[in-house]
Structure 1
Amino acid sequence: MRKRLHERLAALAGLITLEVALAGLFFLGAFGVFFYLTRIVFIQRSAAFDDWAFAQLDAVRAAMPELTAWVRGITFFASLPFLVVAVLLIPSFLLWRQRRREALIVFLAVAGATVLNQLLKLHFQRTRPSSALIPQPGLSFPSGHAMIGSSLYAALAWLAWRHGQRGIAVGLLVWAALIGLTRVYLHVHYATDVTAGFAAGIIWMLLLRTMLRWRRRPG
């Protein structure tokens, strides 16, 4: 009896690896951030963080107005036209290289994040800032550039990390963060929209990773 209990506990301990524990902590942290932001924005109606973020980036724009052209270029790399092309070409290229699982990861990362983002926007119904520097249709919370863009680049970073390209993986994540920052710079999103988008993107990628691992388990 004791031997059987010991074996079961040992098997359970084997499942609870450091990687699983860290993924769980990231999931809980991202969920907590998203939930906190919904309370700040929709219950407390506080604009302190958003006003502060706008003020900081407005000061940067006033000091370096030539930066705006670069920001507009950077923000394109999580726009709808770019994402449509990316979700078609990148998985197709991976399929051509006989990397079916990696193609599935990239496709589901973008497609799933897109569907969830639209559902969340329809639920929260937050309008965009009236001070936007460029015309931008649609709702505001959470930011699609932050959520869908971070899901795409996180998926690519995941694949790069698996192939030993650690520097590229880190660079992709930094690039995703920079794209999110451009949305606040251009006033097309509040800082809370972007932060919530990143949190939701993390949640989705961790769920996707869990589902794909579960799918690979022998039945």
Structure 2
Amino acid sequence: MLTLVGLLTAEIVFGVVLFIAAFAVFFYMTRVVFVNNSLALDNWASNLMDGFRRDIPGLTGPVRFVTFFAALPFLLPASLIGPWLLRRAGYRREAFELVVAMFGGILLNQLLKMYFNRPRPSNALLQTLGLSFPSGHAMLGMTFYGCLAWLLARHFGRPGWAIPLLIWVGMIGLTRVYLHAHYATDVLAGFAGGAAWLVACRLGIKLFWKEEKEILSEE
């Protein structure tokens, strides 16, 4: 009982609350799309982005640039180089966490896509492969940049970076709707799924690392 109380730190309690909130948003999005079959939010967001494209000539190029930073050709190398740099700097646990979060997130995203089996919008402005729900850019962007935000705040004394990184993730999500690569509900579900996975991954590794340390100290 005392061990359980010792594990209930403020960080873990906050993580559990965040996980429940993120899971609730993800569940709500599945209800909107697959139970209610509602397109109201998707149509509104798509029309809004189309209006920006009409009113701001030349916006598509910068949008394509931003969306690249949550694409697998960027995230896969970053998910290997980042942990390597962290390990060299002496942050072995954080390096392990980033690897598990990213590659587990990629696998989870693909499993969710196959389960929900939602086709992508037919009027995409760039070639897109695979299924639509939840958005991989949104989910993996939240996982990668959310993990970076935590590392910068927790270990490098840069909590102020959290807000710009989360704004950047939000911008990436908007690019997916702008480019008609995803519906808005795909993006919101991706954000929620990424947040829930990141929290679950972090709490799991935190508890595992604590237990491993205790076992090593007993030996």
Same fold (TM over 0.5): yes
Q: Which runs of 5+ in 2 are unaligned?
A: none
Q: How does 1:162-181 map to 2 (within 5 A)?
A: 162=154, 163-181=156-174
Q: How does 1:116-127 map to 2 (within 5 A)?
A: 116-127=108-119
Q: Which range moves more in the overlay, 160-169 or 66-75?
A: 160-169
Given the alignment of the two structures, is residue 86 of structure 1 paired with residue 66 of structure 2, yes or no?
Answer: no
Given the alignment of the two structures, is residue 152 of structure 1 paired with residue 144 of structure 2, yes or no?
Answer: yes
Given the alignment of the two structures, is residue 203 of structure 1 paired with residue 203 of structure 2, yes or no?
Answer: no
The residue that corresponds to 2:124 in the other structure is 132
- What's the CA shift for 1:161? 0.5
Residue by residue over 1:106-148, the C-alpha shift from the partner in whole angstroms, topping out at 9 and shown as x without a partner, is 1112101100000000000000001111110100000000001
- What's the CA shift for 1:191? 0.3
C-alpha distance in structure 1 between counterparts of 2:48 and 2:152, whole Å: 33
Amino acid at match of 1:184: V
- What's the CA shift for 1:205? 0.7
C-alpha distance in structure 2 between counterparts of 1:140 and 1:211, whole Å: 28
C-alpha distance in structure 2 between counterparts of 1:26 and 1:93, whole Å: 29
C-alpha distance in structure 1 between counterparts of 2:101 and 2:16, whole Å: 19
C-alpha distance in structure 1 between counterparts of 2:8 and 2:82, whole Å: 33
Given the alignment of the two structures, is residue 28 of structure 1 paired with residue 25 of structure 2, yes or no?
Answer: no
Residue by residue over 1:30-78, the C-alpha shift from the partner in whole angstroms, topping out at 9 and shown as x without a partner, is 1111111111101111100000111111111111021111000000001
Amino acid at match of 1:159: L
**Contact 2:12–2:203 under 8 Å retained in 1:** no
Q: What is the alpha-carbon root mean square deviation over aligned residues? A: 1.6
Given the alignment of the two structures, is residue 37 of structure 1 paired with residue 25 of structure 2, yes or no?
Answer: no
C-alpha distance in structure 2 between counterparts of 1:123 and 1:147, whole Å: 16
C-alpha distance in structure 2 between counterparts of 1:73 and 1:87, whole Å: 19
Q: Which runs of 5+ in 1 are unaligned?
A: 1-7
C-alpha distance in structure 1 between counterparts of 2:83 and 2:209, whole Å: 19
Q: Which range moves more in the overlay, 162-171 or 111-120?
A: 162-171
Task: Report how many aligned residue pairs link the two structures.
Answer: 211
Higher relative contact order (CA 8 A, sep 6+): 2
Which TM-score applies when normalising by structure 2? 0.91
C-alpha distance in structure 2 between counterparts of 1:11 and 1:212, whole Å: 17
Residue by residue over 1:190-212, the C-alpha shift from the partner in whole angstroms, topping out at 9 and shown as x without a partner, is 00000000000011011111111
- What's the CA shift for 1:21? 2.8
Secondary structure at the counterpart of residue 89 of structure 1: helix
Identity of aligned residues (%): 49
**Contact 2:15–2:203 under 8 Å retained in 1:** no
Distance 1:12 1:92, change over 3 A: closer
Q: Which range moves more in the overlay, 18-27 or 134-143?
A: 18-27
